[in-house]
Amino acid sequence: MYIQDSPTRLLPDVASQEHALAIGTLDWVGMDGMEMPVAFDAGDGDVRATGARVGAFVNLNKSEARGIHMSRLYLLVSEALSAGPLTLGGIRDLLGQFLSSHEGLSDHARLTIGFEHLVRRRALRSDNSGWRAYPITIDATLKGEAFHVEITTDVVYSSTCPASAALSRQLIQDSFAKAFPADRSMDRETVLAWLGTEQGIVATPHAQRSTATIRVRPAGDGTFDLIGMIDRVETALGTPVQTAVKRADEQAFALANGSNLMFCEDAARRIQKTLDADDGIADFHVRVAHHESLHPHDAVAFSSKVRR
């Protein structure tokens, strides 16, 4: 088969020709890691443009066809992502164009988009603010009228071990008992001064940076308030990592950690309760990993939507 490339020249289209080795259907064929621009509104009305890595795929149903038309996928993606902000409806339309461009070859299309979305976050106490980059992956498929899309992101937070905190408190009690025996008189100012020394706080619980990987399936094809969801999760955890930090902010963060002691099981349940109450989410899966400072392996927990 030949295709018209110019008014005077026909070019061979090898992919459309039957071939002795072309026997069998394929689940997905396409391109991955395409460099594309993407404009994205995470739900706060602030459209941000960034670079993305994109995968475009269709299945190959025609067993005797040697391949698909990859250039068609590339051009469709390039045009769609350059046209305006990314929307769920726009993704569905793009997948439909994948199938229209491969009529007779494919009946299932897939698009993956990976990028980072920057959000400005205020400090806990000071008037400063800084940027947080949330990694976002969108994975969408279309087969017939069945449109399926999942959005994945990470929430990074601090977790302080409840068991370690209890053990530390016991050591502090022991230190106090040695410094202030029962037969010794003491006054409030002496005790306050002692508590402000390294001898007063002889042990601290171990804490670590932790990651909650959240994969959600939006309930509809409209806009999805991703930042709103992240905000609610960070509020439920109580200890999201900070950006610009002065001493007052660091002290407030220490207080937040002390007020939110949690095992990975606690964190997973907090997130599960938050997402389960969100009517905009049809389904979700969460992986919580506490990257332990006590040992070289992670403590992990998984949770999903409560089935009623």
Q: Average pLDDT in the 8-35 region?
A: 77
Give the residue ranges of DSSP H helices in 4-144.
70-83, 88-100
Q: Average pLDDT over the chain, rounded to whole?
A: 92
Per-residue model confidence as pLDDT tens digits over 149-175: 999 999 999 999 999 999 999 999 999
Per-residue model confidence as pLDDT tens digits over 182-221: 888 888 999 999 999 998 899 999 999 999 999 999 997 7
Q: Phi, psi (5° rounding) for residue 46?
A: -100, 100
DSSP designation for 279: T
DSSP designation for 242: -
Which residues, 6 or more positions from 114, have their beta carbon under 8 angstroms from its beta carbon? 52, 53, 54, 135, 136, 137, 138
- Does the pLDDT value for residue 8 go beyond 70? no
Q: Which helix (H) or strand (E) holds 185?
A: none
- Rounded distance between C-alpha atoms, residue 114 and residue 116, angstroms: 7
Predicted TM-score of the model (pTM): 0.89
Out of 16-30, 105-119, 129-143, 174-188, which region has the weakest mean confidence (pLDDT)? 16-30
- Does the pLDDT value for residue 63 go beyond 80? yes
Predicted local confidence at residue 133, as pLDDT: 96
Q: Which residue has the higher pLDDT, 21 or 276?
A: 276
